Amino acid sequence: MSRALSVLAIVALTGLPSVPAWAQDGDDEAESGAAILRGAAEAGLGGPQSVGAQLEEDAAQRRTMSRRPGIDSFFDPAENSLERLREVSGLQVGLDYQALYQSATDSLTNQDQASSGSVRMFGKWALLGRDTGHTGSLVFLLEQRHELWTELTPAQLGGDIGYLGITGTTFSDSGPSLTTIYWEQALSDGRAGFVAGRIDPTDYIDILGYANQRTTFLNLSTLVNPTIALPDQGFGFGAGAMLTDQIFAKGLVTDANGSLTEVAFFPDGSEFFSYGELGWTPARDERFLTNVHVGAWHVDERVEAGVPESQGVVVSANVTIDDVFMPFVRVGWSDGAAPFYNTAVSGGFLYYLPRYRDLLGFAAAWNAPAVAGLPDQTTLEAFYRYQFSDNIAITADAQLLLNPALNPDQDQVAVFGLRARLDM
């Protein structure tokens, strides 16, 4: 734990000199965070962490004011080449590397530290109707997740500390994978569309603009509604449309037995996860910033896996105030043992600091486990993302896990983390 606290202190101190700059330059820079999310929202049907949205957000970040233009210039030749590739061929490619270290104050085993890294190449290739309102694109994501300095990864840490959940979402040691590959078709000048292929369900259901495990929070209960029995990546179909200028609807059907590491077409037969949603947003490009929706889901019984049929309902909302402050809330109920929890309530906020797009976030989540006899569990999480340069972000994260469901001898466990992301 001492190592984690030392690292967090260093990050906090390196961020302090920029505070006067935020106060000096006001309003123009304060709009940059929201402007970037508006552009990302128009990149396709997916949420902030989907390939199209992430490509747009990373590209837009390079157009904002930077603390270290000298470091940025090192990446300029490669980024200029990628931009020329996009202009000539319609192929937009992104590369990033992420690393996360976490340390817990208590453990059921002798393991209280975890770390993991991930290198990714992701892209979107406009092959039909380029620069029109009905573009058809091939979307892909390849990644390699691996251990770093510890035997335990953040995706495994929860089990060792008696926490029912994941303290470091996506940070595992699963090795190489073709995470997603699918066709995305825009229709009606981007007001409607569909995706078909190997998809990640979290990219297309219950979307709010604050949730991106690569740039905001880390805990699964903060990032998604844990009453949904979300399958891993698998083959499926999703569609959505703006029914009016402000009302939207979307739906998804995918393999209930999806797997990150095994690419197979419905290996256990016709067992499906399905989801439908109806919502409101002020405008299509505002759907990440302000969004209210209700969704319902169902998952078939997974016979081979021994997981029963389950279903549930979610209600989620967020709003952005003055383009810098984004409060959010999520509520979910489910019936069945497939998800982690049968009842969940979470809420919090993001605050975009002006000038360099540093980001502050806080969230609280209360969850009632689906397994009878386990106590209710509460999670508090706070983070500060320091935008070191256009291409490098360093995030300090702290989680307080109250009444961890699988560790009855502890009232609380704290988890401190440090995440770094390099993108190009």
- 32 pLDDT tier (thresholds 50, 70, 90): low
What is the predicted pLDDT for the residue at 18? 35
Question: DSSP E strands: which ranges in 319-411?
Answer: 325-335, 341-352, 359-369, 377-387, 392-402
> pLDDT at residue 27 above 50?
no
What is the predicted pLDDT for the residue at 26? 37
What is the predicted pLDDT for the residue at 3? 43
Higher-confidence position of 295 and 66: 295
Q: What Cα–Cα distance (Å) separates residue 248 from each residue in 61, 205, 271, 370?
A: 28, 13, 27, 31
Higher-confidence position of 33 and 225: 225
Choose from 32-36, 40-44, 336-340 the range with maximum mean pLDDT.
336-340
**Section 281-303 average pLDDT:** 95
Share of the chain above pLDDT 70, in %: 92
Least confident of 57-66, 281-290, 354-363: 57-66
**Section 341-349 average pLDDT:** 96
**Section 393-412 average pLDDT:** 93
What is the predicted pLDDT for the residue at 152? 94
3-class DSSP assignment, residue 40: helix
> pLDDT at residue 23 above 60?
no
- Asked whether the beta carbons of 122 and 85 are under 8 A apart, the reply is no
Higher-confidence position of 362 and 4: 362
Q: Model confidence over 101-110: pLDDT tens digits?
A: 999 999 999 8
- 22 pLDDT tier (thresholds 50, 70, 90): very low
- 266 pLDDT tier (thresholds 50, 70, 90): very high
> pLDDT at residue 304 above 60?
yes
Establish how many alpha carbons lie within 13 A of residue 102's alpha carbon, considering only the half-sphere containing its beta carbon: 36
> pLDDT at residue 165 above 90?
yes
Helix axis angle, 32-41 to 51-61, nearest 10°:
150
Q: Model confidence over 105-127: pLDDT tens digits?
A: 999 998 999 999 999 999 999 99
Confirm whether pTM is higher than 0.85.
Answer: yes
Give the chain's count of helices (H) and strands (E): 8, 16
What is the predicted pLDDT for the residue at 60? 80
* Residue 172 to residue 144: CA distance in whole angstroms: 10
Establish how many alpha carbons lie within 13 A of residue 44's alpha carbon, considering only the half-sphere containing its beta carbon: 30
Q: How far apart are the first and last CA of the chain?
A: 32
Report the candidate in 238, 228, 179 with the shortest Cα–Cα distance to residue 44: 238
3-class DSSP assignment, residue 179: strand
What is the predicted pLDDT for the residue at 340? 87
3-class DSSP assignment, residue 229: coil
C-alpha torsion sign, points 205, 233, 393, 330? positive
**Section 377-399 average pLDDT:** 96
Higher-confidence position of 24 and 294: 294
Least confident of 28-32, 173-177, 193-197, 411-415: 28-32
Angle at 178 between CA 125 and CA 222, to 5 degrees: 95
Helix residue ranges per DSSP H, 220-304: 220-223
* Residue 241 to residue 236: CA distance in whole angstroms: 18
- 91 pLDDT tier (thresholds 50, 70, 90): very high
Give the domain 2-423 fold.
Porin (2.40.160)
What is the predicted pLDDT for the residue at 280? 98
* Residue 148 to residue 151: CA distance in whole angstroms: 8
Choose from 15-19, 70-74, 401-405 the range with maximum mean pLDDT.
401-405
**Section 405-411 average pLDDT:** 88
3-class DSSP assignment, residue 358: coil
Within 8 A by CB and 6+ apart from 26, the residues are 354
What is the predicted pLDDT for the residue at 15? 38
> pLDDT at residue 176 above 60?
yes
Residue ranges of domains in the chain: 2-423
Least confident of 11-20, 45-54, 219-228: 11-20
Q: Model confidence over 306-334: pLDDT tens digits?
A: 999 999 999 999 999 999 999 999 999 99
The CA-based diameter of the chain, rounded to the nearest angstrom, is 61
* Residue 290 to residue 280: CA distance in whole angstroms: 8
What is the predicted pLDDT for the residue at 35? 82
Burial per residue of 196-225, b for 16 or more beta-carbon CB atoms within 10 angstroms, e otherwise: ebbbbbbbbbbbbbbbbbbbbbbbbbbbbb
What is the predicted pLDDT for the residue at 75? 87
Q: What Cα–Cα distance (Å) separates residue 331 from each residue in 14, 121, 233, 328?
A: 37, 34, 24, 11
Q: Which amino acid is at 297?
A: W
* Residue 349 to residue 353: CA distance in whole angstroms: 13
